[in-house]
Amino acid sequence: MQETKKIRKKASIPQKECVACGCCVKVCLLGAISIYKGIYAQVDTDKCVGCGKCAKECPASIICVAETQEGQVK
């Protein structure tokens, strides 16, 4: 349970379900999301703090905020 390893929450977005509307980009205060070539949204895991704002805003409700280890989504 109580690990001392770096465990942080990060947002992750499944590419195939994303409609690239950009709602998530607009609400992220850290500017961690960008739309890749108008196709899908990408999260910069270095900038993301896992606040979950984007997940709430996404009209397709596809963003998942979960714990990651060393930048990798479990």
Partner 1 sequence: MKQKKKWYDYLWIVSLTYLVLGFFNILFAWLGMACFIIPLVISIVKGSKGYCNRYCGRGQLFALLGGRFGLSRKRDMPKWMKSKWFRYGFLIFFFAMFFQMLWNTYLVFAGAQDLKQVVTLLWTFKLPWHWAYHGTLFSDGVAQFAFGFYSVMLTSTVLGVVTMILFKPRSWCVYCPMGTMTQLICKAKAGACKKEGLR
- The contact mask relative to partner 1 for 2-41 (x = CB under 8 A, - = no) is --------------xx-xxxxx-xx--xxx---x-xxx--
How far is 41 from 12, CA to CA, in rounded Å? 9
Nearer to partner 1, 7 or 60 (CB): 60
Q: Select from ligand SF4, partner 1, none the partner in contact with residue 16, using the beta carbon and a kind-dependent cut-off of 5 to 8 Å.
A: partner 1
Q: How far is the CB of 33 from partner 1 (least distance, A)?
A: 10
- DSSP SS3 for 17: helix
